[in-house]
Structure 1
Amino acid sequence: MARRSSSLFRGGPKVRGGGGGGGIENLLAVRRSLESILKKSRALASAVENAGLGIDEIYHRLPDLEAAVRPSGAPKGALAGAGSHIGRAVSPGSVVLKVFDALHGLEPFLLTDPLDDLQGYLSVLKRLEEAIQFLGDNCGHAIQWLEDSVDYLEESSLADDRYLARLRTSLKSLKDSKSPLDGGLLDAALERLESAFRRLLVDSSVSLALALPSSKPLNAIREDQKLPQVIAPSPLPMPVIQQLLSILDRLSANGRVERCSKIYAEVRGSNAQATLGNLGLDYLSISAQEFVDVRRIDVEIVEWMKHLEFAVKHVLEAEFKLCYEIFGRFGPPDFWKNCFADIATQAGLLSFLQFGMTVTESRTDPDKLLKLLEIFGFLNRLRSDFNRLFGMKPCAKIQSITRDLIKRVIDGACEIFFDLHNQAKSQGQRPPPSDGGVPKVVTFLVDYCNRLLGDDHKPLLTQVLDIHQSWRGENLQEGLVTKAIMEIIVALERNLEAWSKAYDDATLSYIFSINTHSYFYRQLKGTRLGDLLDDQRLRDHDALTDYYSTLYLRNCWGRLPPFLSRKGLILVSKGRAATIDLVKKRFTAFNEAFDEIHRKHSVWVIPDKDLREKLSQLAVQTVVPVYRSFLQSYGSLVKQDSNSDKHIKHTAESLENSIGSLFQHKPARSPSLQAAQSNGKVNDAARINQYQSPLLDENVGFGLYV
């Protein structure tokens, strides 16, 4: 370059001295020459730089070119084998790629709503499963073929080592990858299918708005208001069931049927709960502290039995059949049973059973025995349904609570029944009624024992006692029920004798004995309890009624006629004044005695109308004829006196009416109990608590008011 530059300078224009204009032109020419040279230098430098980049590119491509031309230098046998190895690897790989492309072609349809075209969706989903299965089965083989080809190329030195290393790395990455071959498409489709399963159930599960018959005694319900035998052909329409089964087929094939069973139990359980809730089940939340005895929730107990029967025989029966129809062919044998157990629990069956437990925890009294027998009979009628629906292992909790409920019912009933005799016996220590009426404990227990002997209760009581005895390893004694009831009646009869002796007033004792013995005869005759007693025993009560009636008339009304004796009365003029005074005294004595009897009798009662009329008539026959005769014979003597009204207070008719008005039964009465004196007699003046109920407070067990 230096040499060339020198030549250029030598060949340039020469500058001559002495001319001003020529010198400037020469300088300009030199400048242009220098600029031209500089431009060419830059172009040359750029060309050199580009040539260097090309050389670098050639350098980097040399290994690839070397690998490309390497087979030309390899043995012909190695080159021939490479073709077959590569061909075997490329063919399965090509098929796998085609299936993979087809798989992703299904994606748009599988991301739509399955219920828009369920059968089409399920068909495409099945194709997706088959494609994934194919890829799972063949991807490994394709990778293995490729690895074999790489091994051959490496052994035959037909490829660059770096190239082969990168290829091995890629194949290992494919082989070890944990990512789904479908990119998560199958999971997304299955989740959509589960969502469709839930929506089908929710849209087709409608709670029933039901109104069962109003509360009545259980036997009345069974006779004229029986529960419907069928609610509907199926709780789900058949097309919906078919759709659910189709969905379950695909979900089961992918191991998701258990998730569907939980969805199903949640939806159907909530629906069953809503259906039963429409019946009005607020009473199920009553606690043992909220009531004292079963009579206060008698209506709720009747409702409970109706509702529980409806829940078991209709709601849960339908769910049982439907659950088996849908899940019966999926999973292990207990799979669908677990699902049904969840439905029964969510529907609120345990709340029903807990209410029964609450009833058994109420205060012990005779009425509770009758109610427990009704509950036992009700549960016994449901026994086959309970065993069929809940007798499987998944329903173990329901079984346990049910067994506990039945045990409490039986134990509670037996406890009350075996204690009835003691309770009846203990009533003899209490004071008798102050009005001489029949003690409430007598009327209650006579009616109670008749009910126990009736067809509605005696078979149940016998069965309860039999079960209770079997739990204790004992056999039921023959006639145990009738024997125990006879002991109660014997205790009452002994109480009658004790009560009759507790009165200070003998007349009131006679009234009490007349009432009670007459009551026994009239109320027991022709009844189950009367049949249990022999006829002679009943006739004895009738005879005692007559016996005490005779004593009553003789010792009460029979005391009045002697006051009207004619002895010593002389109607001659000589003794007239003395006779009038004597007649006045006898009228006065009669009036005082009658008023005393009337005063006492005004608070005494004879509840039976026929017996009351009979005794009144006998009293009238004892007193009125004597009074009428005496009044006719001597009344005129007294009437001459200005104060005759003081001595003659009654006409024969008014006296008869006054006697007839006695012993009137007062239905709304609240007879008082009498306090016992230290000598065991009743003080007629002492009054204590009035009757309120046939049951005493809980501090006296379940004793009965007298």
Structure 2
Amino acid sequence: MKLLSIQIPRWLIHSEPWRFVGFTSSIVGLLCYALSTSFNFLFGKRNLLKMVIYIVFSFIICLATFFANVWQHSASLRFRAHMAFLVLTVTSVYSFFFDKAVNGKPDVFSLVLCAAFAIMSLSLSRQIHCGFEVDLLYFFLGVLIIQLMKIKLLLGTIGVCFSYFLVILRSSLDFQPENDDLQLEDQEAIAIRVDSQQSNNDSQLAACIEALRNRNSDLIQIILEQVKEENKDQKSLTDAEEEEQIPVVSYDIKIDSLLAETMIDLHKIAQQTAVAGEFGEEFIKVYASCRREFLEESLMNLGLKKLSTDEVHSMSWENQRDMAERWIKACNVCLKILFAGERRLCERVFSGFLAAANLSFMDISGETGTWLLDFADAVATAKPAPGRLFMILDMFEALRDMIPEFESLFPDQLRNEADTVWKRLGEAIWRNFMELGDVIRHQTPEMVSSSNIHHLTRYFMNYLLLACDSRQTLEQVFNEHMHLLKEYPELEPDGRFGSSSSLSMKTVIDWTMEMFECNLEAKSKTFEDLALSHVFLMNNGHYMIQKAENSELGILLGDDWFQKQSEKIKQYHVGYLSSSWDKVFEILKLDGSNDSVQTQPNVAAKEMKKKLKMFNMQFENICRVQSSWYVEEKIREDIMIVLVKTLLPAYGCFIRRFQSVPKLGKNAKKYVKYGVEDIETKLNDLLRGVTASSRRQQ
């Protein structure tokens, strides 16, 4: 008797007996409905066609009830949603027409069919979890109570009691205690139960695992679509919105809610195996293996693959940068969706078994978490190069934002590893940024052939502008890793960095800028033409001012830097005029020539013709050479203003004096090759980067 009192509850919590209960009750209910008066009210008198259709429909219902626990494991969420909607619609329509057609008292068949369908719904709730089975139970219990009350008001009490019994039975079966009455079983009863329950648990576990595997591809597709939508939203943001947005991506996917039904079944199996004394490593191993497959397939679909440290170090820069971008996305998906979801799944499956839940979660996610950190560590330990800075900055900031998730999800070992890798990324940021200064300092000035803005000037200024966008992060890194200064003694001969306990971004930028300006000066000395050297420095200095204006970089450099740069450009301007045009102005000087014209007209004519010839030759040489030089438009305008105000008046005065020489007389015009307007036209072709002839062809 004692054994029977224990076995009955055990028998009720299994889904297998409920298959037969549901199948039997569905047959009884459908048969009673065919015999009830409500059938005639709704469908009219019976005939052969109606009965054939009804029999086919009844056969489908009975078959679906009997095999419900099979098809529910392979049904997608979308199918289940449609099924729930179909049941809701059918019951609503039936209730409407039933209330409209049936006004009299119901017969016995109607009462029996409601009770039978209620029991069938209860059996479905023990086998599947599609969401409609409980509502169906409540619907038929409600109809039963109403029909009993139509016969006699007090008979509604019977319906209420029957309904209460079924509802409480379902509730108690859903929350069966873990070790109830175990102490009452004797050794013989346990031995009898273990074999049969073990076989049943194995089959249920296999079915659940298969259901999980079938759902994996659907879940991965959902995740990929969510990631795609996030990327689309990111691309649609304006620049202002991007500056204000939170850098960490927030995904709205709950894996545990998408697998809720299967998790309930797995939790029941876990409870049963624990009661049977067989809960342990085998159950965890089977479950964890299935979930690891899901994680690995998810990462593969996100474009991430396992790479060794050597493989990461040997990757090309483009491939490493591409992999780093995928790593950031994969980390966000793992921490926000996958790992968090697996943690909640483990807590549900192993509810009441905290140690088993932790063990299972680490078995599932620990290896993937370590692998993600290993990739970041490999990037951090690669050989420093200035171009790698921004990739590492992105990874550093991404991992910094994910540290709280590591701390909440993983035990001390992995969370400590995440913190260690994050610090190594910080050290890598320091080394890669300082490498820029090292490269500039040790670069051998190459021969420069053009006055255009040097490609390294463009790279350097854009580099600093991007770096200043991450000013707060860089200052944090600089201050946290000041101890690394001892590795670069050659980069700070004046000891400026070691003079205080903190290191500001401005100090580092000023030092880097000074070295680059020295590098430009060294490049300018490779020009054979001194004037071209000044043009080169003017162009590059002006470009640096333009790029720094109205930016975070300009704020860091300060007004003093802008003032110094402007003064330098003025000096280069003066240097250009002096090296290019001083000889021309010297030729056009006419001091003391009046006496020569009056006393020695032949000598004066000869001297003036010589000067004019020298001017023409010098001027034509400058025009020929400097027509191909390029100067920034603003600087060129300033140069032209000076030349127009100085050269044209000087040349005009010289020509007038030339024409006044008596010996030259009316023949003076044949010696004058250029008028004042011709000189101005020739000046207009200078410093545009193309020759006058090519400009005319254009």
Answer yes or no: same fold by TM over 0.5. yes
Structure 1 residues 252, 236: closer, same or farther in 2, change over 3 A? farther
- Any conservation in 2 of the 1:353–1:402 contact (CA below 8 Å)? yes
Structure 1 residues 341, 477: closer, same or farther in 2, change over 3 A? same
Selected match of 1:660 from 684, 688, 691: 684
Structure 1 residues 603, 405: closer, same or farther in 2, change over 3 A? farther
Selected match of 1:344 from 350, 365, 384: 365
Find the counterpart in structure 1 of residue 356 from structure 2: 335
For the pair 1:543 / 2:567, whether they are aligned, the reply is yes
Find the counterpart in structure 2 of residue 458 from structure 1: 471
C-alpha distance in structure 2 between counterparts of 1:340 and 1:276, whole Å: 17
Find the counterpart in structure 2 of residue 414 from structure 1: 430
For the pair 1:247 / 2:269, whether they are aligned, the reply is yes
C-alpha distance in structure 1 between counterparts of 2:249 and 2:600, whole Å: 92
Structure 1 residues 609, 590: closer, same or farther in 2, change over 3 A? same
Range with greater deviation from structure 2 (509-518 or 254-263)? 509-518
Selected match of 2:199 from 165, 188, 208: 188
3-state SS of paired residue (1:662): coil
Find the counterpart in structure 2 of residue 685 from structure 1: none
Find the counterpart in structure 1 of residue 64 from structure 2: none
Structure 1 residues 561, 199: closer, same or farther in 2, change over 3 A? closer
Shift of 1:457: 1.9
Find the counterpart in structure 1 of residue 629 from structure 2: 604
Question: Which ranges in structure 2 are unaligned for 5 or more consecutive residues?
Answer: 21-66, 71-122, 129-169, 487-497, 691-698
C-alpha distance in structure 2 between counterparts of 1:550 and 1:131, whole Å: 101
- Any conservation in 2 of the 1:283–1:300 contact (CA below 8 Å)? no
Find the counterpart in structure 2 of residue 316 from structure 1: 339
Structure 1 residues 638, 282: closer, same or farther in 2, change over 3 A? farther
Shift of 1:663: 2.4
C-alpha distance in structure 1 between counterparts of 2:362 and 2:462, whole Å: 44
Selected match of 1:484 from 499, 508, 528: 508
For the pair 1:267 / 2:282, whether they are aligned, the reply is no
**Structure 2 counterpart of 1:192, one-letter code:** S
Q: Which runs of structure 2 are paired with 1:155-304 in the superposition (5 Å)? A: 184-205=195-216, 206-209=218-221, 210-211=224-225, 212=228, 213=231, 220=242, 223=245, 227-232=249-254, 234-254=256-276, 255-256=278-279, 258-281=281-304, 287-288=311-312, 291-293=315-317, 297-304=320-327
C-alpha distance in structure 1 between counterparts of 2:189 and 2:273, whole Å: 24
Structure 1 residues 626, 339: closer, same or farther in 2, change over 3 A? same
Find the counterpart in structure 1 of residue 187 from structure 2: 136
C-alpha distance in structure 2 between counterparts of 1:650 and 1:267, whole Å: 91
RMSD, matched Cα: 5.1
Structure 1 residues 114, 466: closer, same or farther in 2, change over 3 A? farther
**Structure 2 counterpart of 1:464, one-letter code:** V
C-alpha distance in structure 2 between counterparts of 1:195 and 1:450, whole Å: 58
> Which gives a bigger RCO, structure 1 or 2 (Cα 8 Å, sep 6+)?
1
Q: Which runs of structure 2 are paired with 1:61-76 in the superposition (5 Å)? A: none
Shift of 1:337: 1.6
CA-to-aligned-CA distance 1:70-117 (integer Å, 9 cap, x gap): xxxxxxxxxxxxxxxxxxxxxx9xx999x99xx99x9x9799999367
Find the counterpart in structure 2 of residue 373 from structure 1: 393
Shift of 1:554: 3.4
The structure with the largest alpha-carbon Rg is: 1
Structure 1 residues 96, 353: closer, same or farther in 2, change over 3 A? closer
C-alpha distance in structure 1 between counterparts of 2:482 and 2:560, whole Å: 34
- Any conservation in 2 of the 1:366–1:416 contact (CA below 8 Å)? yes
Structure 1 residues 258, 512: closer, same or farther in 2, change over 3 A? same
- Any conservation in 1 of the 2:538–2:572 contact (CA below 8 Å)? yes
3-state SS of paired residue (1:664): coil
C-alpha distance in structure 1 between counterparts of 2:281 and 2:435, whole Å: 54
Find the counterpart in structure 1 of residue 481 from structure 2: 468
CA-to-aligned-CA distance 1:380-402 (integer Å, 9 cap, x gap): 11110111112x16xx4x44753
Shift of 1:266: 2.3
Q: Which runs of structure 2 are paired with 1:440-451 in the superposition (5 Å)? A: 440-451=455-466
CA-to-aligned-CA distance 1:652-683 (integer Å, 9 cap, x gap): 444333323332359xxxxxxxxxxxxxxxxx
3-state SS of paired residue (1:364): coil
- Please give the TM-score of this superposition, normalised by the length of structure 1: 0.59
C-alpha distance in structure 2 between counterparts of 1:223 and 1:198, whole Å: 40
Shift of 1:249: 1.8
Find the counterpart in structure 1 of residue 620 from structure 2: 595
- Any conservation in 2 of the 1:583–1:638 contact (CA below 8 Å)? no
Q: Tell me the matched-pair count.
A: 511
Find the counterpart in structure 2 of residue 425 from structure 1: 441
- Any conservation in 2 of the 1:111–1:188 contact (CA below 8 Å)? no
C-alpha distance in structure 1 between counterparts of 2:652 and 2:668, whole Å: 21
C-alpha distance in structure 2 between counterparts of 1:582 and 1:658, whole Å: 25
CA-to-aligned-CA distance 1:284-332 (integer Å, 9 cap, x gap): 7993355443x664444334312321221122212212221221313xx
Q: Which runs of structure 2 are paired with 1:81-92 in the superposition (5 Å)? A: none
C-alpha distance in structure 2 between counterparts of 1:475 and 1:268, whole Å: 55
3-state SS of paired residue (1:605): coil
C-alpha distance in structure 2 between counterparts of 1:131 and 1:516, whole Å: 86
